[in-house]
Structure 1
Amino acid sequence: MSAITERARQFLKGKTFAIAGVSQRRDDAANYNYRTLKKKGYRVLAVNPKYDQFDGDPCYPSLKALPEKPDGLIIVTSPAITLDLVREAVEVGIPAIWMHRATGTTNAFKSSESPMQSSVSEEAVRLAEENGIQVIPGSCPMQFAGDVGHRCMGWIFRMTGGMKEPVSVHPEKA
C-alpha cells in the first residue's frame, strides 16, 4: 500500500467532516464530496458563508460556527481561501485537513489547472503542519472513497506519478 493510500485511509476513518466550498450554483467537487460521504454514512457539515442551507441541511458560514468539531476538513475552494480556512481550523482544533486537487498530489498537470481544480496553498500546508494538523495537500477523497470512475482515476494517478506522497514543506515535522 502506498503512503498516500495509507494517509487517505487514516483520514477517512473520521466520522464527521466539514466540507468547505459547497455551492448551490454548480455541481462540483465540493458538492460531490458532500453528497457521496453523506450517502456512505458519514456526518457532513457544509461550510460556505453565502448560504444558510445546502441540500436541505444547515450550511455554516465558518468553521467556528459549526455545532461540533469535525474529525476532518475537506477544502474545495481557491488557494487564497484555503489559507483562511486553515487559520480557522487551527483555532477550532480540527486535527486533519484534505486540500482538494483534481489532478493528484503533484504539480505534474499544473499548466492545465483552472483555479478551481486545486485548493492547495503551500502557505496553508506549512501553517497546518506547524500546528500539528495532518494534511493531505492534493488529490481527492473520492479517489479513495468515491465511485468506480474516481477510484480508477486515483489508480491511474498513482501508476503514472501524478499521485506521489506529498512532500512536507517542513520535512523535520513529517
Structure 2
Amino acid sequence: MEKQPSAYESFFDLGSFGVVGRSKVKPFPLLSYRGLKAKGKKVYAIDPSSDSIDGDKAYPSLAALPEPVEGLIVEVPKAETKDWVAAAAEAGIRDVWVHMAHDTPEAVALAKEKGIHLRTGTCAVMYLAPTLSYHGIHKLIMKLTGKY
C-alpha cells in the first residue's frame, strides 16, 4: 500500500505561493522562499516593510499581488498572525501554513471559522530542505516520532 502524503507534505502540491515576513522586525523567511522557488513553484514575497526580497519585488499585502496564490506561508511577529489569516480568508486562500510557534489561539479559531486548512506546529523548511541540514535532521526526528 502506497503511503499517502501528510497534510504538511500535500501543501507543496499547490502551484503558487505567497511567503509573508516582516524583514524590519526579523529576517525574512528566505529558506521557505528559496525552497519553493527551487521546486519550480510560482512564489511571491510579501513584506510590508521592504520593496525587495532576495532581489525580487516584494509586495506589501496580498491585495497587491499581481495574481492570486493558492498557498500562504506566514512567518511574522506573533501579534500579526491573526491579521494575515484574516487577509488570507479575504483573498480566498484556503491553505495557510503558520510557522512553528507563530500561531495564536485567535488565528487558529479564525482559520477554522473561515474554512482555511491551517498548518501549524512545525516549520515549512523541514519539508523543503535537503536531508543533510538542520531542517533535514528535524524532519528525520519528526518522522521517527510519528509527527511528520
- Residue aligning to 1:144: 127
Contact 1:34 1:46 in 2 (8 A): yes
Contact 1:22 1:46 in 2 (8 A): no
SS of equivalent residue, structure 1 residue 33: helix
Aligned runs of 1:72-91 on 2, under 5 Å? 72-91=71-90
Aligned runs of 1:1-174 on 2, under 5 Å? 6-21=6-21, 23=23, 30-101=29-100, 118-148=101-131, 149=133, 150-160=135-145, 163=147
| Residue type at the aligned position of 1:123 | E
Superposition TM-score, scaled by structure 2 size:
0.86
Q: Which runs of 5+ in 1 are unaligned?
A: 102-117, 165-174
SS of equivalent residue, structure 1 residue 12: helix
| Sequence identity percentage | 36
Aligned pair count reads: 144
Q: In the TM superposition, what is the alpha-carbon distance from 1:130 to its structure 2 partner?
A: 1.0
Contact 1:52 1:59 in 2 (8 A): yes
SS of equivalent residue, structure 2 residue 45: strand
Cα deviation code 1:9-53 (max 9, x no counterpart)? 22110111100016388756x111101211221111101111111
Q: In the TM superposition, what is the alpha-carbon distance from 1:76 to its structure 2 partner?
A: 0.8
Distance in 1 of aligned mates of 2:7 and 2:44:
22
Name the CA shift for 1:123/1:6 in 2 (closer, same or farther; >3 Å). Answer: same
Superposition TM-score, scaled by structure 1 size:
0.74
Distance in 2 of aligned mates of 1:42 and 1:119:
24
Contact 2:16 2:42 in 1 (8 A): yes
Distance in 2 of aligned mates of 1:156 and 1:83:
29
SS of equivalent residue, structure 2 residue 58: strand
Give RMSD over aligned pairs.
2.1
Q: Which runs of 5+ in 2 are unaligned?
A: none
Q: In the TM superposition, what is the alpha-carbon distance from 1:72 to its structure 2 partner?
A: 0.5
| Residue type at the aligned position of 1:147 | P
